[in-house]
Amino acid sequence: MATLIYLTILSLDGYVEDNDGNFDWARPDEEVHVFVNDLERPVGTYLYGRKMYEVMRYWETAHSAVDQSPATRDFAGIWRSAEKIVYSRTLEKASTARTRIERSFNPAAIRQVKESAERDITVGGPELAAAAIKAGLVDEYHLFITPIVMGGGKPSLPDNVRVKLELLDQRRFGNGVVHLHYRAVP
């Protein structure tokens, strides 16, 4: 059975983007990027909402740019090799390989994917993650807390849901980012 993981980069006060929709402050440096790549390497399927997919499809061609760092090229390969499921009512077709569109998020279908998958699954984007968290589907959380306070924006975690967590690991990076790895406690 696969593990469903929510991996997100967030501000100290819990936002994934600021009030203007910007998230340039969340760009990982090389040290963090290498660490994220190692976490993403076992992932076989990415679950995305439309907005997150539109951001992430950059990785389809990122490997071809000559000025990319080794970590960036590595992640592009990891991302391209994984399956992508995009939940969108408006997206007509996928613009990346190994991608399919689903019109609605169905927790029962995700449970079946988890049961049959041989590799881990991640859920990307706070809105889709909120649906998965509320449905009790998220097994692990990888939170990369960036040393910035936004004061508002798009929250990384949903309101009105309670999940007990067990801390499995923590790491501090040279740029002040802190990684917290939790497992959901049933």
Interval 153-177 mean pLDDT:
98
| Structural domain span for residue 66 | 4-184
The answer to whether 4 touches 110, Cβ cutoff 8 Å, is yes
pLDDT, tens digit, 9 for 90 and up, residues 25-83:
999 999 999 999 999 999 999 999 999 999 999 999 887 777 889 999 999 999 999 99
pLDDT of residue 67: 85
Type of residue numbered 155 = P
The DSSP line for the chain is -PPEEEEEEEETTSEEE-TTS--GGG---HHHHHHHHHHHTTEEEEEEEHHHHHHHGGGGTGGG-TT--HHHHHHHHHHHHSEEEEE-SS--S-SSTTEEEESS--HHHHHHHHHH-SSEEEEESHHHHHHHHHTT---EEEEEEES---SSSEESS-SS----EEEEEEEE-TTS-EEEEEEE--
Label residues 101-120 b or e (16+ Cβ within 10 Å = b): beeebeeeebeebbeebeeb
Interval 106-124 mean pLDDT:
97
pLDDT of residue 65: 76
Longest dimension (CA), the chain: 46
Those residues with Cβ within 8 angstroms of residue 116's Cβ, 6 or more apart along the chain or in another chain: none
pLDDT, tens digit, 9 for 90 and up, residues 4-19:
999 999 999 999 999 9
CA angle 159, 12, 134 (to 5 degrees): 25
pLDDT of residue 21: 95
129 phi/psi in degrees, rounded to 5: -60, -40
> pLDDT class for 122, splitting at 50, 70, 90?
very high
* pTM over the 0.75 mark: yes
Per-chain mean pLDDT for the chain: 96
Residue 42 CA to residue 23 CA, distance in Å, equals 26
How many folded domains does the chain comprise?
1
Interval 126-149 mean pLDDT:
98
pLDDT of residue 61: 87
The answer to whether 69 touches 33, Cβ cutoff 8 Å, is yes
CATH number for the domain that contains residue 158? 3.40.430.10
